[in-house]
Every structure is written in C-alpha cells, then in structure tokens.
C-alpha cells in the first residue's frame, strides 16, 4: 500500500471514530431532569443537544448532532464528596446550566454552552 493512501485511510478511520455517537438513544430523556434513584435514563436532550452521564458516573458529555461538543469530569473538578459515592446522582437542566448532585449532599453547576464546571456546595 502506498504511504499516502495508508495515511489517508488512517486519518479517515480516526476522524470517523471521533464523530461517532457515544450514547444510547433509548437512555435519553426529554424531561428536564434525571434522578438515578428513580430512572435508568442517563441523558437529557434539550435544544438538539444531548447532555449525557458517561458509564463512569462522573463525566458529563454534551453532544450536538452526535458530535462531542464538550466533556467534563465533575468529580475531578469538584473533588470527592464527603458523604456518599463519588458519582453523579441527579442532573437537572436549567436554560443556561446543568444542576448536578454528587454523592449525598454536594452540588455543582455546569455551563451548558462551555462545559465550565464549578462546585457550589
């Protein structure tokens, strides 16, 4: 195989895997909140963007048209909670931010446009 063709093929494969959808449509809610104690849903779809809690239960990704827009690990940014497991338990959508509960009583906010995450208590 010619080196140029080989490189082009590798670039195509890498590009294609970067574009691929990473979430299960069946686990997406059209509601404005998901409480993991009450549902198996893992994401919220609002304004053609899916906000999805990844399998590690610590990371939230935003996908627009199946392409990753941003991703943040809430536990890494906010630290481990003093009580409860270091995982996301609740996600609520508010027009400009996601409201997050981690552990038993810790709260974070994520800017829906940038993914900027901050601990709020």
65 Cβ partners below 8 Å, 6+ apart?
A: 48
Q: What is the pLDDT of residue 10?
A: 36
Structure confidence at residue 110 as a pLDDT band (50, 70, 90):
very high
Structure confidence at residue 24 as a pLDDT band (50, 70, 90):
confident
- What's the token pair of residue 57? 């239960």
Is the CATH code 1.10.486.10 the one for domain 22-119?
A: no
As a residue count, the chain comes to: 121
Would you list the DSSP string of 64-88?
Answer: ETTEEEEEEEHHHHH---SSS-SSE
Is 88 in contact with 77 (CB distance < 8 Å)? no
Taking 90 as the threshold, does the pLDDT of residue 13 lie above it? no
| pTM score over 0.85 | no
Q: Where are the domains of the chain?
A: 22-119
Structure confidence at residue 4 as a pLDDT band (50, 70, 90):
very low
Mean pLDDT of 100-105: 94
Mean pLDDT of 35-64: 95
């Amino acid at each position: 195989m010619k080196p140029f063709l080989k490189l082009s093929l590798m670039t195509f494969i890498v590009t294609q895997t970067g574009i691929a959808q990473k979430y299960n449509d069946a686990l997406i809610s059209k509601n404005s909140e998901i409480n993991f104690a009450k549902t198996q849903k893992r994401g919220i779809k609002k304004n053609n963007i899916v906000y999805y809690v990844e399998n590690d239960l610590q990371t939230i990704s935003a996908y627009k048209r199946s392409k990753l827009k941003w991703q943040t690990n809430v536990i890494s940014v906010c630290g481990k909670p003093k009580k409860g497991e270091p995982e996301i338990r609740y996600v609520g959508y508010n027009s400009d931010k996601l409201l997050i509960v981690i552990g038993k009583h810790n709260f974070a906010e994520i800017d829906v446009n940038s993914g900027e995450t901050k601990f709020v208590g």
